[in-house]
Amino acid sequence: MGAVEKQRSGLAATGAWDYAPSPESREIVSLEERYGLFIGGEEVSPRSRSWFTTVSPATEEPLAEVAQAGARDVARAVDAAREGFEAWSAWKPSERAKVLFRIARILQERARELAVAESLDGGKPIKESRDVDLPLAAAHFFYYAGWADKLEYAFPGRRPRPLGVAAQIVPWNFPLLMLAWKIAPALACGNTVVLKPAETTPLTALLFADVCRQAQVPPGVVNIVTGDGSTGAHLVRSEGIDKVAFTGSTEVGKAIQRELAGRDIALTLELGGKAANIVFDDCALDQAVEGIVNGIYFNQGHVCCAGSRLLVQESIHDQLVRKLKRRMATLRVGDPLDKNTDIGAINSKAQLERIVELVESGTEEGAEIYQPPCRLPEKGWWFAPTVFTNVAQSHRIAREEIFGPVLSVLTFRTPDEAVEKANNTMFGLSAGVWTEKGSRILWMADRLRAGVVWGNTFNRFDPASPFGGYKESGFGREGGRHGLEAYLRFE
Amino acid sequence: MSQTLALPRTLELPGGGRLPRVGSVDAVALEARAAELAKRSIKRESKVFALELAIRMMDLTTLEGADTPGKVRAMCTKAMYPDPGEPSVPHVAAVCVYPSLVPVARRALKGSSVKIASVATAFPSGQAPLAVKLADVRAAVEAGADEIDMVLDRGAFLSGRMGQVYEEVVAVKEECGNAHLKVILETGELGSYDAVRRASLVAIAGGADFIKTSTGKVSPAATLPVTLCMLEVIRDVHDETGLVIGTKPAGGIRKAKQAVQYLCVLHETLGVDWMTPDLFRFGASSLLNDVLLQLRKQRTGIYRSPDEFTLD
Helix or strand run (H / E) with residue A489: strand A488-490
Nearby residues of B185 by Cβ (< 8 Å), 6 or more positions away: B152, B196, B199, B200, B203, B211, B212, B213, B214, B230
Banded pLDDT at B20 (limits 50, 70, 90): low
Q: What are phi and psi of B127, to 5 degrees?
A: -95, 80
Distance of CA B138 to the CA centre of its chain: 20
Angle between helix A229-237 and helix A71-88 axes, rounded to 10 deg: 50
Distance of CA B192 to the CA centre of its chain: 19
DSSP character for A64?
Answer: E
Instruction: List pLDDT tens digits, range B48-67.
Output: 999 999 999 999 999 999 99
Contact A1 B242 (CB under 8 A): yes
Instruction: List pLDDT tens digits, range A448-489.
Output: 999 999 999 999 999 999 999 999 999 999 999 999 999 999
Could you give the percent of chain A with pLDDT greater than 90? Answer: 96
Q: Which residue, among B205, B232, B243, B244, has the nearest Cα to B6 in the 3D structure? A: B205
CA distances to A46, A89, A180, A367 from A84, in Å: 20, 8, 19, 55
> Is the per-residue pLDDT at B5 higher than 60?
no
DSSP character for A25?
Answer: P
DSSP character for A376?
Answer: P
Tell me the mean pLDDT in the region A359-368.
98
Contact B272 A11 (CB under 8 A): yes
> Is the per-residue pLDDT at B213 higher than 90?
yes
Give the amino acid at A472. Answer: E
CA distances to A144, A208, A453, B107 from A82, in Å: 22, 20, 38, 88
At residue B85, the pLDDT reads: 85
Contact A18 B276 (CB under 8 A): no
CA–CA separation, A145 and A93 (whole Å): 9
User: Most A CBs within 10 Å: which of B13, B26, B45, B238, as the mutation test of the A interface?
Assistant: B26
**Cβ-based contacts of B45 with chain A (< 8 Å):** 20
Instruction: List pLDDT tens digits, range A151-184.
Output: 999 999 999 999 999 999 999 999 999 999 999 9
Nearest to A127 among B39, B47, B275 (CB): B39
Nearest to A286 among B46, B232, B278 (CB): B232
CA–CA separation, A78 and B96 (whole Å): 74
Give the amino acid at A19. Answer: Y
Question: Catalytic site residues of A?
Answer: 270, 304
Instruction: List pLDDT tens digits, range A177-233.
Output: 999 999 999 999 999 999 999 999 999 999 999 999 999 999 999 999 999 999 999
Banded pLDDT at B183 (limits 50, 70, 90): very high
Tell me the mean pLDDT in the region A78-97.
98
At residue B100, the pLDDT reads: 97
Let me know: does A241 contact A223? Beta carbons within 8 Å: no
CA–CA separation, A28 and A22 (whole Å): 16
A331 touches chain B (CB under 8 A): no
CA–CA separation, B63 and A77 (whole Å): 73
Nearest to B29 among A10, A22, A456 (CB): A456
What DSSP string describes B31-63? HHHHHHHTT----HHHHHHHHHHHHHTEEEE--
CA–CA separation, A172 and A303 (whole Å): 10
Alpha helix positions (H), B3-161 = 27-37, 44-56, 69-80, 102-108, 130-142, 154-158
Tell me the mean pLDDT in the region A413-437.
98
Lowest mean pLDDT among A12-16, A305-309, B145-149: A12-16
A283 touches chain B (CB under 8 A): yes
Alpha helix positions (H), chain B = 27-37, 44-56, 69-80, 102-108, 130-142, 154-158, 162-176, 193-206, 224-241, 256-269, 287-300
**Cβ-based contacts of A456 with chain B (< 8 Å):** 26, 28-29
Listed by number, the residues of chain A in 205-234 with a beta carbon closer than 8 Å to a beta carbon of chain B are none
User: Most B CBs within 10 Å: which of A7, A128, A433, as the mutation test of the B interface?
Assistant: A7
At residue B14, the pLDDT reads: 46
Instruction: List pLDDT tens digits, range A287-304.
Output: 999 999 999 999 999 999
Contact B268 A330 (CB under 8 A): yes
CA–CA separation, B27 and B32 (whole Å): 8
A318 touches chain B (CB under 8 A): no
Distance of CA A171 to the CA centre of its chain: 7
At residue B18, the pLDDT reads: 56
Tell me the mean pLDDT in the region A44-61.
98
Helix or strand run (H / E) with residue A237: helix A229-237
**Cβ-based contacts of A284 with chain B (< 8 Å):** 23-26, 29-30
Contact A19 B40 (CB under 8 A): yes
Tell me the mean pLDDT in the region A347-370.
98
> Is the per-residue pLDDT at B10 higher than 70?
no
Contact B275 A11 (CB under 8 A): yes
**Cβ-based contacts of B244 with chain A (< 8 Å):** 1, 3-4, 7
Residue A306, class by beta-carbon neighbours within 10 Å (0-12 exposed, 13-18 middle, 19+ buried)?
buried
At residue B21, the pLDDT reads: 74
Three-state DSSP state, B65: coil
CA–CA separation, A234 and A24 (whole Å): 38
Banded pLDDT at B2 (limits 50, 70, 90): very low
> Is the per-residue pLDDT at A276 higher than 90?
yes
At residue A5, the pLDDT reads: 38
**Radius of gyration over alpha carbons of chain B, in Å?**
19
CA–CA separation, B246 and A82 (whole Å): 68
> Is the per-residue pLDDT at A10 higher than 50?
no
Residue A123, class by beta-carbon neighbours within 10 Å (0-12 exposed, 13-18 middle, 19+ buried)?
buried
Give the amino acid at A198. Answer: A
Banded pLDDT at A146 (limits 50, 70, 90): very high
User: Most B CBs within 10 Å: which of A1, A286, A326, as the mutation test of the B interface?
Assistant: A286
A54: β partners: A64
CA–CA separation, A39 and A45 (whole Å): 10
CA–CA separation, A101 and A327 (whole Å): 41
Average of per-residue pLDDT values in chain A? 96
- Nearest-Cα distance to chain A for B115, in Å, is 17
**Cβ-based contacts of A11 with chain B (< 8 Å):** 272-273, 275-276
At residue A41, the pLDDT reads: 97
* Residue in chain B nearest A23 by alpha carbon: B41
**Cβ-based contacts of B281 with chain A (< 8 Å):** none
User: Most A CBs within 10 Å: which of B272, B279, B298, as the mutation test of the A interface?
Assistant: B272
Contact A456 B28 (CB under 8 A): yes
Q: What are phi and psi of A432, to 5 degrees?
A: -130, 145
What DSSP string describes A400-424? S---SSEEEEEEESSHHHHHHHHH-
Residues counted in chain A: 491
Tell me the mean pLDDT in the region B173-197.
98
Let me know: does A178 contact A137? Beta carbons within 8 Å: no
Nearest to B40 among A1, A11, A340 (CB): A340
At residue A16, the pLDDT reads: 79
**Cβ-based contacts of B47 with chain A (< 8 Å):** 20
At residue B240, the pLDDT reads: 87
Beta-carbon pairs below 8 A across chains A and B? 86
Torsion of CA A87, A90, A92, A97, to 10 degrees: 60
Helix or strand run (H / E) with residue A193: strand A192-196
Nearest to B43 among A20, A283, A290 (CB): A20
Banded pLDDT at B208 (limits 50, 70, 90): very high
**Cβ-based contacts of B34 with chain A (< 8 Å):** none
Let me know: does A309 contact A408? Beta carbons within 8 Å: yes
Give the amino acid at B100. Answer: S
Average of per-residue pLDDT values in chain B? 93
Q: What are phi and psi of B139, to 5 degrees?
A: -60, -45
Q: Within 10 A of B44 (CB to CB), how many other CB atoms are there? A: 12
**Cβ-based contacts of B25 with chain A (< 8 Å):** 284, 286-287
Residue B115 annotated to the active site:
no
At residue B312, the pLDDT reads: 79
Banded pLDDT at B4 (limits 50, 70, 90): very low
Helix or strand run (H / E) with residue B283: strand B282-284
At residue B311, the pLDDT reads: 84
Q: What are phi and psi of B27, to 5 degrees?
A: -65, -45
The tally of CA atoms less than 13 A away on the side-chain side of residue B223 is: 19
> Given B149, B209, B236, B290, which residue is catalytic?
B149
At residue A8, the pLDDT reads: 36
Q: What global pTM score does this model have?
A: 0.94
- Nearest-Cα distance to chain B for A252, in Å, is 36
Residue B110 annotated to the active site:
no
Tell me the mean pLDDT in the region B180-199.
98
At residue A6, the pLDDT reads: 35
Nearest to B267 among A3, A17, A457 (CB): A17
